[in-house]
Each structure stands twice: as C-alpha cells, then as structure tokens.
C-alpha cells in the first residue's frame, strides 16, 4: 500500500464532494489501486466557514505557501475559481506540484502557458473534471478511441443549460425560475452568465477539440450563442417539429475545414442526444472506426465532478496524467487548423416566419428557399389570428447553413414577414 499525502486548494461545492468521497470511499481506492489517499492540507479563502463535514484531519489555512512548501505533498487538487484561480495554479506548478483541476476556463484560455510551466518544473496538469463532470471522456479519447480519426463531436456540455431547457419543456417553468433552481442545486458557475451565454460550453469544446482533433483552436474561433433568448414559443415549436432544443457544441470536419460552434439546436427526438435530460451531459462522438458512440452522465454537481477529480488524482499518482499531457498538450502544432465559417456549416435549419396571412406568402418563401438550393424537410402553418397574422415554421434537410441564412434574409427583406425571423440549427 502506498501512502499518498495530497493537498486541496479551494473548498467549495466540488471540494466538499472530494472530501466526502475520501471520507466514504477511500477504501475502494486502497483496494483497487493500492493507493491510500490522505488529505494533508487544504487551502481555502474561508478556513473558518462552517461546513457539513470535517476536514479529515487536514490542516486548513488560507496561505498557498503552506502547501507549496510541504515537500511531502506532490499531488494537489486545484478547485479555485475566479481571479485567484490562475495565480494559485501558477504557484502550484512553479513549486513542481502535479496538479489536478476542474477549472475549464483556465485550461481553455491559458492551457499552453500552464502546460509549459508544468513541463518546466517537472510537474503535470490533469483536467478530466474540466469537461463533462463525471463522464470520463478525456480518458475515452486518450485510450479507447486512440485508433480513430474523429469525424465529428456533437455534445451537451453544460448541466445548467440542459437543466433549464429540460424544466422549461417538461414542467413549463420560466427560464428564470429554472436558473435559480440550477444554482441552488450547485450546477451553475459562480457567475451563471458563463453557463447560459455558452461560454462554459465553448471552454469545454476547446479542450475536447484539442484532444480529439490534435490541434489548438483559439476560443475566439468558436462561434458561440447561448440560451438566454429562448422562450416558451420556441420550446413549443420544437415539439411541433418532433424535436427538443439543446445547447449543442459541435466540432465537425467539413470540406471547408473544422466547424466549431456552440448554439441552441433542434435535436430530433430519435437522436441519442435528445434523451440526455436535466443536469446530464452527453457527448456523441463519431470515430472513423468506432462509428458513433454516446457518452452520458452527470455533467455538473459535487459528487460527479469529484469522481472525475479523484480519477485524475489516481492517474497522476500512477504517471498516466503525464502521458496525457505529453500526448495532447506538449506536442501539437501551434498553428490552428483550417476553420469553416458559418456560411460553410453543413446543417439542417429551422425558421419561424411571422407572416401576413395572404395569398402568395407561402409561395414567396418556398420560392426563395428553392432558389438557394434548400430542400424542405417539414413545414407547418399555425391558424391565423383575427388580425391576419400567422406563423410558418420550416425545417430543412442538411445543407449549407449559410445558404439558408441568405434565403431567410431575402424573405425578410421582401416584406413577407412582420418581424425578423428566428432561426435555429437542426441536428
């Protein structure tokens, strides 16, 4: 049995999850991998705060130096957020510690600098918990799918957004009520804007892309939309079209290059991702040899995220985390790949046109779609109001999304519509 003193920086929701797994399940790790994890030091901004459980005998302080100076601790769990997260990470890596983090913003925005620091000081940096909470998708890409070129990833990567959309659809909750509940359940970021505006999903997509496609992509190259503007009408329209709306992260090879975007998307009910509900995440990966696979599980919350953190602690202690870093972080070319613009996306599309109820409107819409080479998959017109207004909803077969947007802009300009048309992609 190997006794392993470890440190923890940041004792919030996920930190609580780590402490509680160590309290309840340390024996599992002893039996399975022969590692006896001992939490020796915790660094937190609030050492005196009352908590639901004890610190398992760890010394608790608010000074990172107490931890960096402790030579017995080689492996540290970093769960800090906010402005202090980066300086704390830098202090740990500079001290040569092997660090496990769940902070996706740090890895997505400063990965190169941090991996270089780890390499320079003989440490390592593991980040399984940064993407999709408890789902071991980094390990799956590293190990199980290593013999594949990845053609496409479509993923639900934010538990908060998926919870909100699920509650709006299944319980008729307002967006704001669902968001407050997601915060209460510990799914949301400190600043929940990062969840709902798609930023958190873009961070995770950047990390997945680096591993799946062996390339670095600047965050700014991921076209990102959130779910803030969705309303009950959109949810109802999705149902009419045999779909539900999910915030989908896409990284897909197209003839024009790698297409990277995050957007609310109609997912047909028979697509595997449609069954991913509440705070669950789902990552649908199409490998050249494996074919399509769906990885699903809880993408947010204390225990699932802590489960991934402790898997990384084990990886770090047995040397596998260094292998991941060497494979994916240190060696790839710095140049970003060719990227497909929005006009070159290959996607199904959907639009809701608010129109005047008069002869020729439907013909005018379909004529412009046809002129842009767009093939209609389904069409639905609601009964007109007494004021002579109606809605027409159209979804299309997959094609060039850019052509669809051009056609919609022409339809709006031609005066058939009474307000700008709402569009969504469709998987």
CB of 203 to ligand HSE, least distance (A): 9
- Which residue, 101 or 237, has its beta carbon nearer to ligand HSE? 101
Binding segment (CB under 6 A) for ligand HSE, from list 37-45, 86-94, 187-195, 376-384 = 187-195
Among 10, 15, 133, 402, binds ligand HSE (CB under 6 A): 133
Tell me the per-residue interface mask from 88 to 127 with ligand HSE, x by CB under 6 A, - otherwise.
----------------------------------------
189 binds ligand HSE (CB under 6 A): yes
Give the three-state DSSP class for 119. Answer: helix
Give the three-state DSSP class for 88. Answer: helix
Tell me the per-residue interface mask from 155 to 174 with ligand HSE, x by CB under 6 A, - otherwise.
---xxx--------------
Footprint (CB under 6 A) of ligand HSE, residues 292-331: 299-300
Among 115, 175, 187, 350, binds ligand HSE (CB under 6 A): 187
Across 222-238, b (16+ Cβ under 10 Å) vs e yields bbbbbbeebeeebbebb
CB of 67 to ligand HSE, least distance (A): 24
128 binds ligand HSE (CB under 6 A): no
Binding segment (CB under 6 A) for ligand HSE, from list 68-76, 185-193, 229-237, 315-323 = 185-193
d(CA 103, CA 88) in angstroms, rounded, equals: 12
Put residue 337 in one of left, alpha, beta given phi > 0 → left and psi -120 to 50 → alpha. Answer: beta
Annotation marks residue 40 as catalytic: no
Tell me how far the alpha carbon of residue 276 is from its chain's centroid. Answer: 13
CB of 158 to ligand HSE, least distance (A): 4
DSSP-assigned letter for residue 153: E
CB of 237 to ligand HSE, least distance (A): 25
Footprint (CB under 6 A) of ligand HSE, residues 11-50: none
Q: Are 74 and 97 in contact (CB under 8 A)?
A: yes
DSSP-assigned letter for residue 417: B
- Going through 300-388 in order, the beta strands assigned E by DSSP cover 346-356, 376-381
Catalytic one of 40, 97, 104, 204 = 204
CB of 183 to ligand HSE, least distance (A): 10
- Residue in 390, 335, 401, 312 with CA at minimum distance from that of residue 130: 312
Query: For residue 28, with 0-12 CB atoms within 10 Å meaning exposed, 13-18 middle and 19 or more buried, which class applies?
Result: exposed
Q: Are 93 and 107 in contact (CB under 8 A)?
A: no
- What are the residues whose beta carbons fall under 8 Å from the beta carbon of 112, sequence distance 6 or more? 216, 334
Summarize as ranges the residues that interact with ligand HSE (CB under 6 A): 133, 158-160, 187-189, 195, 200, 299-300
Q: Active-site residue numbers?
A: 204
């Amino acid at each position: 049995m190997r006794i392993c003193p470890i440190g923890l920086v940041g004792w919030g929701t996920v930190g609580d999850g780590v402490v509680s797994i160590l309290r309840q399940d340390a024996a599992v790790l002893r039996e399975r991998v022969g590692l006896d994890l001992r939490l020796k030091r915790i660094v937190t901004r609030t050492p005196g705060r009352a908590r639901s459980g004890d610190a398992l005998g760890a010394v608790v302080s608010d000074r990172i130096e107490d931890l960096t100076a402790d030579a017995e601790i080689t492996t540290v769990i970093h769960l800090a957020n906010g402005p202090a997260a980066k300086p704390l990470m830098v202090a740990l890596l500079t001290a040569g510690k092997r660090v496990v983090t769940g902070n996706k913003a740090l890895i997505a925005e400063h990965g190169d600098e941090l991996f270089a620091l780890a390499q320079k000081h003989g440490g390592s940096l593991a980040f399984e918990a940064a993407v999709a909470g408890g789902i071991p998708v980094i390990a799956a890409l590293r190990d199980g799918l290593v013999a594949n070129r990845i053609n496409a990833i479509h993923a639900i990567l934010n538990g908060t957004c998926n919870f909100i959309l699920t509650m709006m659809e299944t319980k008729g909750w307002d967006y704001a009520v669902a968001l407050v509940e997601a915060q209460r359940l510990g799914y949301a970021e400190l600043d929940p804007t990062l969840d709902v505006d798609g930023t958190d999903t873009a961070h995770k997509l950047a990390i997945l892309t680096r591993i799946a496609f062996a390339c670095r992509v600047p965050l700014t190259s991921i076209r990102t939309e959130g779910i803030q503007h969705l309303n009950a009408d959109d949810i109802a329209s999705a149902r009419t079209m045999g779909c539900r709306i999910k915030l989908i992260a896409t990284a897909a090879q197209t003839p024009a290059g790698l297409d990277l975007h995050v957007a609310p998307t109609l997912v047909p009910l028979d697509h595997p991702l449609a069954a991913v509900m509440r705070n669950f995440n789902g990552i649908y990966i199409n490998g050249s040899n494996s074919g399509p696979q769906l990885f699903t599980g809880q993408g947010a919350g204390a225990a699932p995220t802590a489960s991934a953190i402790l898997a990384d602690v084990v990886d770090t202690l047995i040397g596998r985390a260094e292998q991941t870093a060497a494979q994916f972080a240190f060696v790839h070319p710095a140049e970003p790949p060719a990227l497909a613009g929005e006009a070159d996306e290959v996607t199904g599309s959907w639009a809701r046109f608010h129109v005047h109820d008069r002869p020729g409107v439907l013909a005018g819409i379909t004529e412009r779609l046809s002129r842009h080479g767009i093939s209609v998959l389904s069409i639905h017109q609601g009964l007109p109001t007494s004021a002579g207004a109606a809605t027409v909803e159209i979804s299309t077969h997959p094609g060039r999304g850019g052509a669809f947007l051009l056609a919609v802009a022409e339809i709006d300009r031609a005066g058939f519509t009474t307000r700008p048309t709402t569009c969504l992609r469709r998987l």
